[in-house]
Structure 1
Amino acid sequence: MPSRRIDGEIDGFPGNESTPESLGSHAARHVRREEKMPAENSRPRTALASREDDAPTSKAVMAMSRLKCALRGFDFRVILALLIGVPLKVTYFLRPIWESPPEPFKIIPHYYNENVTMENLCKLHGWKVRETPRRVFDAVLFSNELDILELRWNELSPYVSEFVLLESNSTFTGVIKPLYFKENRDRFRFAESRLTYGTYGGRFMKGENPFVEESFQRVALDQLIRIARIEDDDILIMSDVDEIPSGHTINLLRWCDDTPKILHLQLRNYLYSFEFFLDDKSWRASIHRYVSGKTRYAHFRQTDELLADSGWHCSFCFRHISDFAFKMKAYSHVDRIRFKYFLNPERIQDVICRGADLFDMLPEEYTFQEIIAKLGNIPSTFSAVHLPSYLLQNVDRYRYLLPGNCRRESG
């Protein structure tokens, strides 16, 4: 019986029969069917044949023959899809086996109410109130997140002494890009008198690990922070643009004495907008009481202390579909784009409205229980309570970030 050929493009649009997932299931059934078929030109087994089968050369020939038979009728691109897509998912699912979870943070309870005095708020945290507040420096590497930057700076503006922003003409993956902030600087005139702005010329090293370019840019940001004339015991906020500390958190830390020298901030994790609340496990944002010659700008774990409920992390929160595709290709995890159709605008829009994963990845967790609990789409939330104030004050401009507004502009 002739084998059934499976045709399909691995970079087809989701929903077609040619997607890697559907091709993978057909392929598995096809292999099993081929293995059950008797080999052509089979002959009765003899003692001579048995001795020949025992020979290493004959075994290798027969193994290759069986493999060739099993793969007959397959589209090579189907096999490539299986080799690329399935192992990566299996690796993430088996993460609890090959990687141990980090040591848990020491979580500091966070107390706040707008009607409570700063003296009492400091006392609730076990700290003392200062006579004058510390200066605050907010330093970021900027790519193209203009809307989120505007929300961030307006949230922090009453408490920040100096904004420090570095942008490059290169993405972390070595792709040339415009200087978006420079082109839109007038939009941020409210911060101009307190702004230290710098640019960094990309190295454009083809094939280099994106984290290398990222580290070079963070070193350059260190230099820019010093140019901004930061001094010992000033507060330095280290976080990505989309990791936004709440204003009252920064106000607390600038007014209280005896706070930790370094403190990570627990942020509420949102994806695509404030409609899709993922969890409260974002911790990379950190606050430092600056020490000359010692404090270095970084985005990894630097202490065990974590201040609870300190702001928002809104990842991939863009207005335009093109911005989603740009970031997917630009940031350090570009290897997650396993198929071309991941960048299809219609697919991206569908993924956003479903609260699914742009890269079709499994949850990055350390226990099977947590992985299974997070499988599937993120459920919508209908709460817009405790969000950045500037967002709610300018809802007509930023409606796409609120629950019930998943459609994006095509530009």
Structure 2
Amino acid sequence: MSSVTKFCDKVYVMAEGGSHYCSKKSDDLCLEDSEKSLSMTRLKCLLRGLDVKAYLLLFMLIPTSLFFIYVHGQKITYFLRPLWESPPQPFHEIPHYYHENVSMENLCKLHGWGIREYPRRVFDAVLFSNELDILKIRWNELHPYVSEFVLLESNSTFTSLPKPFVFAGSRDEFKFLEPRLTYGQVPGRFKKEENPFIEEAYQRLALDYLLKQAGIQDDDLLIMSDVDEIPSRHTVNLLRWCDGIPPILHLRLRNYLYSFEFLVDNNSWRASIHVYQAGKTRYAHYRQSDEILADAGWHCSFCFRRIKEFVFKMKAYSHVDRVRFSHFLNPKRVQRVICKGADLFDMLPEEYTFKEIIGKMGPVPHSYSAVHLPSYLLENAEQFKFLLPGNCLRESG
């Protein structure tokens, strides 16, 4: 080793006027040190081979990567969802037959069901937050065939934010069904750090007790759905008259976003109708059977008149974790997103295959069809103009 070192010294003294640098010598030292695992000398040797540009690239790449993950981490997770989560078992789809000029006996027969001598009673039960406009459309759509409307509201959101009893303050607007209304209030528990779904489950349990106060009995029909999940009136009429329907039947609804201008898909399925059984039927909002009736109504999510109502729901509902940044709640941004048909939370579609995720990426296409919508909506089109195609601008207050 000493002879090699002396040789290098002589060569570099002659070639560079006194420089004693010898790459061979350095490499030998690194080679010797590399055998000492986790030593500082080894690290220095590794860094010695990097130039300034490499250092700059390294210090730029790491923070940039961390920032990208921070901003888009949820998108990455949703996009890769098909890698670790399989699609749920498909529903057994029941074709839906309807025409206003076909008798109820024939409609029941087309579905494979019999006809009853008299219709069942129907109870429509909802948890209410602040969706007054959609509630008017819902109850006017259903009131010819619903025996009792049951509404429960709390002074707390699912995320433990205080809220007024909105329905109580607007009850006079629903005098047309007051004789058939059972109204209840439940106090919030205001547990700030608790999972919002626990508060939601607590309020749904309270709704079970309110249904008993409303007088529901075995063999009555119970509609379980959020306020913005609206079964069509002919669907409810069909199920109250037909004999032999499934005891628990999910409803496939047309899925709209912000208004009836943005048709997302036809895959809203959480709404359901139950043949009530005391001690067995529990109010819930998840999958409870494999049977689903096609084209049974409308789901209009975030269909509010005012920007402040959008902001309130974003902070109030169970998926509040989707508000990752405060600027998501900026009113100007919310308005832009509504008119584009984009996602308020800047998220990718919640799908189970890459094909479906890619197919739904980007804004929801505009639809200019207002055919087969709730009749009350069209009869009062000026009042509910914000829900019809071509009217995306919202009131600020």
Q: TM-score range by the shorter chain?
A: 0.7 to 0.9
1:146 equivalent to 2:137? Answer no
Aligned counterpart in structure 2 of residue 99 of structure 1, from 82, 85, 98: 85
Q: How does 1:262-411 map to 2 (within 5 A)?
A: 262-411=248-397
Q: Distance in 1 between matches of 2:196 and 2:39?
A: 45
User: CA offsets, 1:306-349, max 9 Å, x none?
Assistant: 00000000000000001111111111111111111111111111
Q: For 1:83, which of 40, 65, 69 is the aligned residue?
A: 69
Q: Deviations over 1:133-156 (max 9, x none)?
A: 100000000011000000000000
What is the CA distance between 1:206 and its match in structure 2? 1.5
Give the deviation of 1:82 after TM superposition. Answer: 2.6
Tell me if structure 2 keeps the 8 A contact 1:268–1:280: yes
Alignment correspondent of 2:184? 198
Aligned partner of residue 376 in structure 2, secondary structure: helix
Separation in 2, partners of 1:356, 1:62: 52
Q: Report the CA distance between 1:50 and its aligned residue.
A: 3.9
SS in 2 for 1:56: coil
Number of positions where the alignment pairs a residue of Structure 1 with one of Structure 2: 369
* Matches of 1:149 and 1:53, distance apart in 2: 73
Read off the aligned partner of 1:149 and give its amino acid letter: L
How far apart in 1 are the matches of 2:62 and 2:167?
46
Secondary structure at 2:172 match in 1: helix
Aligned with 2:164 (options 145, 159, 178)? 178
Match of 1:163 in 2: 149
Residues 30 and 45 in structure 2, CA contact (< 8 A), matched pair in contact too: no
Task: State the shift of 1:51 in Å.
Answer: 4.2
**Distance across 2 between alignment mates of 1:51 and 1:214:** 65
- In structure 2, the residue matched to 1:241 is 227
| TM-align CA RMSD | 2.3
Structure 2 counterpart of 1:239, one-letter code: S
Structure 1: 5+ residue runs without aligned partners?
A: 1-42
- State yes or no: 1:49 paired with 2:35: no
Following superposition, the deviation at residue 46 of structure 1 comes to 3.3
Paired amino acid for 1:284? R
Residues 65-144 of structure 1 correspond to what in structure 2 (within 5 A)?
A: 72=59, 81-144=67-130
How far residue 286 of structure 1 moved from its aligned partner, in angstroms, is: 0.3
Moved more, 271-280 or 44-53: 44-53
TM-score (norm 1): 0.85
Select the structure of larger CA radius of gyration. Answer: 2
Shift of 1:190: 1.1
How far did 1:111 drift? 0.5
Question: 1:70 and 1:285, CA in 2 relative to 1: closer, same or farther beyond 3 A?
Answer: same
Identity %: 65
Q: Distance in 1 between matches of 2:250 and 2:62?
A: 50
CA distance in 2, matches of 1:343, 1:241: 23
- 2:160 counterpart letter in structure 1: G
Q: 1:157 to 1:72 in 2, by over 3 A?
A: same
Structure 1 residue 74 displacement after superposition: 9.4
Counterparts of 1:372 and 1:143, CA distance in 2: 33
SS of 2:76's partner is helix
Question: Aligned-pair distance for 1:168?
Answer: 0.8
| One-letter amino acid matched to 1:93 | F
Secondary structure of the corresponding residue to residue 365 of structure 1: coil
CA shift, 1:259, in A, is 0.7
After TM superposition, give the deviation of residue 69 of structure 1 in Å. 6.2
CA distance in 2, matches of 1:304, 1:220: 26
